[in-house]
Chains A and B, each alone.
Chain A
C-alpha cells in the first residue's frame, strides 16, 4: 500500500505516524493491558477471591499481596489500569495530522507510555528478587507495556521535529505545542 500521496506525512518520512493504522494497534494493546490490570485490581480489592495463575502456583497471590503492591494508597494494579486508560484516551484523541495539529496530546501519549514501561520492568525484577515468585498476568502486562513503546515513539519524534522546525522559523513553539491554528498554517 502506498501512502506517499498522503498530505499528513511529515517531511522526509515514509509514512504518517498519526495514521489510524499506526494508532489502532497501540490502542488495542492498551485496552488489553487495562483489562488485565483491572482484573488484578479486583483481586487486590478482594472483589474476586482468587486470581488466575496457570504456571507459578501461588506466585500471583504472593506478588499481588506483597508489601510492594500496597506501598501506595491504592493497589498497584489500579495504578497500572489508570496508566493504560491514559494511553487509550491519548491514543484516540486527535485526527490523522495530530503530530502537527496537537503536539501536546502526542507528547502526553509518549510520556504516558514510557513510565508505564519502566514501572512494569521494575516490578518484574522485584518479583523473583524480593518475593521469589512470578505472576503470569503481571508479566503479561509488562510485555504489553513494552510493546507500546516503539509504536508510540515515532509519533512523538514527528511532533518534536515539527516543533523544532517551528523554532527554526522563529515562530512560537508554545502556540504550536497547543495546536494554535495560525501557528500550524505557518510551518509544515
Chain B
C-alpha cells in the first residue's frame, strides 16, 4: 500500500509541477492529464481488492519517459522531471505489497 501512496503523491506532484517549474504549454497539458491518471490508478490500487489496478501505471510511467521527446518539450527541467517521475511511477507500480485478505481466488477465479 505504501508504494501506491507514493505514486499518489508523485501524481499530485505532476499536477502542480507546471505551476512550479518552467513547463511549456504542451508539457503543462501533458502533466495536467497524466498526473490525475497516475493518482487515480494508484489511489484505487491502495485497496487490496483492486491492487492489480496499480499495473495500469506502467503505461502512465512509460508515457512520461517518452512524452518529452515525442511532444518535443522546449525546457530541460520539465524533461528531467517527467522522466524521473515516470521511472519512479513504474518502479512503485511494480510493488504489490502485502495482501492479507482472501477473496475466494480473487478476480482470476472468474476466468478459470
Residues of B in contact (CB 8 Å), total 24
A153 within 8 A of B: yes
User: Complex formed: what's the CA distance from A128 to B27 in Å?
Assistant: 13
Q: B104 and A150: CB pair below 8 A?
A: no
Q: Kindly report which residue of chain A lies nearest to residue B49, judged by CB atoms.
A: A154
Range of interface residues on A (Cβ < 8 Å): 20 to 34
Q: Kindly report which residue of chain B lies nearest to residue A150, judged by CB atoms.
A: B47
Known contacts A13-B103, A117-B40, A150-B49; is-contact A164 B109 (Cβ 8 Å): yes
Q: B104 and A11: CB pair below 8 A?
A: yes
Q: A150 and B102: CB pair below 8 A?
A: no
User: Complex formed: what's the CA distance from A123 to B49 in Å?
Assistant: 26
Most buried by A among B47, B104, B107, B109: B104
B20 within 8 A of A: no
Q: Could you say which residues of chain A place their CB within 8 Å of the CB of B106?
A: 157
Known contacts A149-B50, A150-B50; is-contact A121 B36 (Cβ 8 Å): yes
Q: Could you say which residues of chain B place their CB within 8 Å of the CB of A75?
A: none
Q: A residues 1-53 with Cβ under 8 Å of B?
A: 10-15
Q: Could you say which residues of chain A place their CB within 8 Å of the CB of B49?
A: 150, 153-154, 157
User: Complex formed: what's the CA distance from A160 to B111 in Å?
Assistant: 11
* Nearest CB of B to A37, in Å: 19
B21 within 8 A of A: no
Q: Could you say which residues of chain A place their CB within 8 Å of the CB of B3?
A: none
Q: B103 and A124: CB pair below 8 A?
A: no
B101 within 8 A of A: yes
B33 within 8 A of A: yes
User: Complex formed: what's the CA distance from A185 to B101 in Å?
Assistant: 27
* Nearest CB of A to B107, in Å: 6
Per a CB cutoff under 8 Å, which of B33, B101, B109 touches A125?
A: B33
* Nearest CB of B to A112, in Å: 16
A146 within 8 A of B: yes
Q: A13 and B102: CB pair below 8 A?
A: yes
Binding site for B on A (CB under 8 A): 10-15, 117, 121, 124-125, 128-129, 146-147, 149-151, 153-154, 157-158, 160-161, 164
Binding site for A on B (CB under 8 A): 15, 18, 28-29, 32-33, 36-37, 40, 43-44, 46-47, 49-50, 101-107, 109-110
Pull 12 A–B residue pairs with CB atoms less than 8 Å apart, ordered by A: A12-B105, A117-B44, A121-B36, A121-B40, A124-B36, A128-B32, A146-B40, A146-B43, A154-B49, A161-B105, A161-B110, A164-B109
